[in-house]
Each structure stands twice: as structure tokens, then as C-alpha cells.
Chain A
């Protein structure tokens, strides 16, 4: 649907977009995720037509957008500030783009009413634009864009101005809307939780480059690099070494935790004895009870810190052979006893707990 090919963008000396190539599929909810300065908004605006790439191409539905100005592209954008025209009421705002499409007044009215109903703002036609709350304004901005039936809806950090509860509501709303409409959404956000919740696929960007494009689950469980891993939730990153390898798999020694057999030949070029990182999520390890021997691997450790956070408890565990403390989280069920500082514990883990990363 959208094809980005080798896009480069400079602002003077500043290299904002470095060789971006990416495809977005029709009907998917796609997010551009990254910290501020990563280029994600620049990329979105390039798709919209407000920025022109210095080299490379944007094509939508097979057609190159190189010579197409923003008002002629099959995209519509929801701006971060919503950009609701203050001198018009809601109906006039929503109907704004219909004028250039030469839609007559009666049809306009009907379309406005239908679209407002879709975003849960039925009856708000005559409201003054500046008398609306942030969440309402966002829906007006959505309606205004969607009424034009774009092939692609672009959203620039649409939820960042909303308070937390509203944000969560809108996340599910946007997802539901996208599924109902079936059009491609491209959303820019710096909030990884947001990206994971709403998207079919996410492109993680750092410093003008795309680091990884994958489904939320793959990004979380199989991050391609240490940096991507650390971006999503918390992750323990332990030094590791490649001890042995054969066509059947590799043996990796992880500091503190022990040896693990990994079947995939993930690093064919790397030599034995070279240094890797092992990423282990806190929730992928378990504090084993006395009689529990079900875990694939077990390692003894001592608890050095306990942080109770209502739903979960986070433990810092010291293992033999490494200075680094490992964070292990456990869900607080009624059956479980919360451990104390100084308790000796057995930590259960396995192949699936570990993702091997090149140290970058």
C-alpha cells in the first residue's frame, strides 16, 4: 500500500532520515515508534507531503508521490495539536475538505452527521470549536479527516495531549475504528505501550533509522538489538559468551544464570568465545517454590531488594558469578508469599526466557 524506498532527508547538516525503506500493508494499523528526535514525525510528514525527501521515493498504491502535493495525496492527517479551526463550528470543521471535492450542501450535511456518529460525537454539529475538551477535539479532527475517505490515515502523536485515562479509552477506540473502517492507519508515538496495544506492526526508529519492523509480540520477545530491547519495558541485559556451536545449535554461557542450549543458529558468523548479550525479561523468570522442579533450568540466588507494586512484586536477585543484579518479577497471587530481603531462592528459567543480542 505504502512503499518507502531509500528515503534520505537533511536539514542543513542534520541528517534527519537515513536510508529509510519500509512497506505498509493495506488495512493494517502501523506505528512509528521512537524517542524524540528519532525522525518518526519527519517520516510521517514525508508520507503526508509536508516534507520532501532529498532522495528516495514515497509511493502509495503503486503511484509515486514525488510530484504530488499534500492536498492531492490520498492521505489525511490528524495533527498533534488537532488544528481545529477556531472560527468554525464542529460541522463546518468536519465538512471543510468536502468543498474542494465539490460535494453539494445536502450531501455534506448527511456525511457530516454520519461521520460524527462514527466518532461518537452525534449531535455536536453546532458546537463552537474552541468550546470542546481535548478528547472531543481529537474526535473532531478524526471525523474531519475520515469524512474524506482517505486510503491512509496519518496520526501524529494524537494521544499525547490527553490524560491517562482518556488516553487508554482512545487507544481502544482508535483500534476499533481502524478495524471497522479497514483502512491503513499510520500512527506516530513515543509511548511504547501505546504502540504495542494498538498496532498490527511497529517500526522502531532511532536517530533517523529504522531499527526493527515487526509485530508487537516479536518486538517484545525477540528484539533485534539491545537498544530495541531496552526500549520496550524493562529487560535484564546480561553479558554472555558463545561457548560451543554446531549445526544443531549453540551453547551460550550467561553470566550468573548458567549455560543454555539454543537451537537456532542465530549468529552464524560469530566465532567461539566472542561476547554476546542475553536479554531476559523479569517476568520470564520464576521464583520456584520448595518442591517445584518443573523449570527447564534452575539457578540459586539471594534476594537483595523487594519492591511491592500492587499487582506485581519486583525482586532484585544476586547470582553467583556476576556483580549485576537481575530483576525478577512475580505476580502477587493469594497463594504466594512475598519474599524478604536476604532470602535464598531458586530461580526457574528456560530457553524461551532468553533472547540473544549482539552487543550494540
Chain B
């Protein structure tokens, strides 16, 4: 039974990763047709990236949006997680439920409803509107991460700090923040990655300044651009994996430092 399971999981993981592994494969392939056999190694697609019109500005837009969204989402998530884990107040469950809803709605619903509101309100579509949309969908994920941080925070730590003479503000700076830093870093990185890759909402809410995914979308109909898209995809893949691995490492290192590790799934 175990052998069957092991074979299964091997095939499973291969199937899961196969498409993604094709990305770097064909990004370095010296052929404009995406097919086997491979033709040879080349870096021309990567250098072609630099010449692409609009790519760089789209990338910059994406970076700005991702940075702003991650900071905003993390801040809102910190407030919500703190309230949810450490305080009791009427309406807590329904309010938290509503805040978490964007994680369970199809992005198209969020996209068209935001579009509707902005158009009816007469507001222009821009980078700022995308930031708002991305923040909305990132907050639930950030809360999922930060809840754990706050749950592991001993409330008597903050009380001890107050007892020893600090104010609420300095207590937050000296005690609370350092102790939830792993969660905060994770949250920032996850939100950044989500925003960077997000397409549907950006597609509906971008004005004249497209994000990187929206730019990619516009290029997909050109078969000649395929290998260049592959190269771009590879870059994005490497960036995402690096960010996520970094996030994991930071999380583990901090947990070890605080003596909280040795628990699976933490």
C-alpha cells in the first residue's frame, strides 16, 4: 500500500510542477516554437525583454502596486487579527466573517463590483484603484498568517511591559512588534506575491497604466512573443520562489530565536 502511495505522490508532484518546469526550459531554448526537441541554449529571449515596449513601465507599476498593497493589507490585517484574537466585543464573528469574504469570492465578482462603484462615482481608474482592489483580496490571507502570530503572543508580556512603566505605544514598539515580526514579514511577502501575480481585478480596474500580468495578457495573442513571455515568466517564477523561500526562512529563524519551533505545520 505504501509503495502505491509513494508512486502516486511522485507522479502527483511531477504533474504539479511539470508545467512550471517547462518555463525555464523553453525560456532558454533557441527556438521560437514551443515544442520538443530542444534546439539549444540561448539568452536572446531574456535580452529581448529589455527592448519590449511597455514592459518596463508595467513592471514598475506592478512593483509600486504590490508594495503599497502589501503594506496596507498587512496593517489592516494586524488590526483585525489583534482584535479577533485578543479582544471580545459584540459582532466580532460577523465582522470578521465579512472581512474574510474576499478570499472566497471569485475575483470577477470583486472586479466588476468595484468597477461599477468607481464608474458610478465618477472616479478614474488608476494605480490607486488597483491598490485598493488588491488590498481587499490580500487582507484575508494576511489575517490567516497574523492570527497565528497573535495567538502565540502571551498577553502577560504586554501587561508586564505596562507594569514596568511603558505606555501602550512604547509597549507596541518594544514588545508586541518584535514578537510578531515573523508573521508581519510573512504577511508582507505573501501579499506582495499575490498582488504581483494578480490578473483579473487589475484587468478590470487598470486605466492607462497596466500591471505586468495585464501587459502579459496583451502579448499572449502574438505567437512570436511566446518565448519572450516564457522568459518573463521564468523571471517572475524565480522572484516569487525567492520571496516565498525567504519568507519561510525568516519565519523559521524567528521561531527558533524565540524558542517556539518543533511543531509541524507552524
CB of B154 closer than 8 Å to a CB of A: yes
CB of B161 closer than 8 Å to a CB of A: yes
Contact with B along A222-260 (1 / 0, CB 8 A): 000000000000000000000000000000000000000
Taking a contact as CB atoms under 8 Å apart, the answer to whether B258 and A86 are in contact is: yes
Which single residue of chain A is at the shortest CB-CB distance from B158?
A: A83
Taking a contact as CB atoms under 8 Å apart, the answer to whether A87 and B258 are in contact is: yes
Which single residue of chain B is at the shortest CB-CB distance from A48?
A: B163
Determine the distance from Cα of A96 to Cα of B160 in the docked complex, in whole angstroms: 10
CB of A85 closer than 8 Å to a CB of B: yes
CB of A266 closer than 8 Å to a CB of B: no
Determine the distance from Cα of A162 to Cα of B235 in the docked complex, in whole angstroms: 55
Taking a contact as CB atoms closer than 8 A, the residue among B160, B166, B175, B259 that contacts A77 in the complex is B160
Taking a contact as CB atoms under 8 Å apart, the answer to whether A83 and B167 are in contact is: no
Contact with B along A41-57 (1 / 0, CB 8 A): 00000001110000000
CB of A25 closer than 8 Å to a CB of B: no
Which of A70, A87, A99, A101 has the largest count of B CB atoms less than 10 A from its CB? Answer: A87
Closest chain-A Cβ to B259's Cβ sits at a distance in Å of 3
CB of A69 closer than 8 Å to a CB of B: yes
Taking a contact as CB atoms under 8 Å apart, the answer to whether B162 and A71 are in contact is: yes
B residues 157-176 touching A (CB-CB < 8 Å): 157, 159-167, 170, 174-175
Determine the distance from Cα of A333 to Cα of B163 in the docked complex, in whole angstroms: 51
Determine the distance from Cα of A131 to Cα of B163 in the docked complex, in whole angstroms: 24
Taking a contact as CB atoms under 8 Å apart, the answer to whether B154 and A81 are in contact is: yes
With contacts A81-B154, A148-B165 taken as known, whether A87 is within 8 angstroms of B159 at the C-beta atoms is no
Taking a contact as CB atoms under 8 Å apart, the answer to whether B165 and A100 are in contact is: yes
Taking a contact as CB atoms under 8 Å apart, the answer to whether B178 and A70 are in contact is: no
Chain A residues lying within 8 Å of B175, measured Cβ to Cβ, are 85
Count residues of chain A with CB under 8 A from any CB of chain B: 28
Determine the distance from Cα of A139 to Cα of B253 in the docked complex, in whole angstroms: 28
Which single residue of chain A is at the shortest CB-CB distance from B179?
A: A87
Taking a contact as CB atoms closer than 8 A, the residue among B162, B164, B257 that contacts A87 in the complex is B257
CB of A285 closer than 8 Å to a CB of B: no
Chain A residues lying within 8 Å of B165, measured Cβ to Cβ, are 71-72, 97, 99-101, 148
CB of B208 closer than 8 Å to a CB of A: no
Taking a contact as CB atoms closer than 8 A, the residue among B157, B159, B164, B178 that contacts A97 in the complex is B164
A residues 128-175 touching B (CB-CB < 8 Å): 130-131, 141, 144-145, 148
Taking a contact as CB atoms under 8 Å apart, the answer to whether B160 and A87 are in contact is: no
Taking a contact as CB atoms under 8 Å apart, the answer to whether B259 and A83 are in contact is: no
List 27 contacting pairs A-B, 8 Å CB cutoff, sorted by A. A50-B163, A70-B159, A71-B162, A71-B163, A71-B167, A75-B163, A79-B156, A79-B159, A79-B160, A80-B156, A81-B154, A83-B156, A83-B157, A83-B159, A86-B258, A87-B178, A87-B179, A87-B258, A96-B161, A96-B164, A96-B174, A97-B164, A97-B165, A100-B166, A101-B165, A130-B259, A145-B164
Q: Which 7 A-B pairs have the closest CB atoms?
A: A97-B164, A130-B259, A100-B165, A83-B160, A83-B156, A79-B156, A86-B258
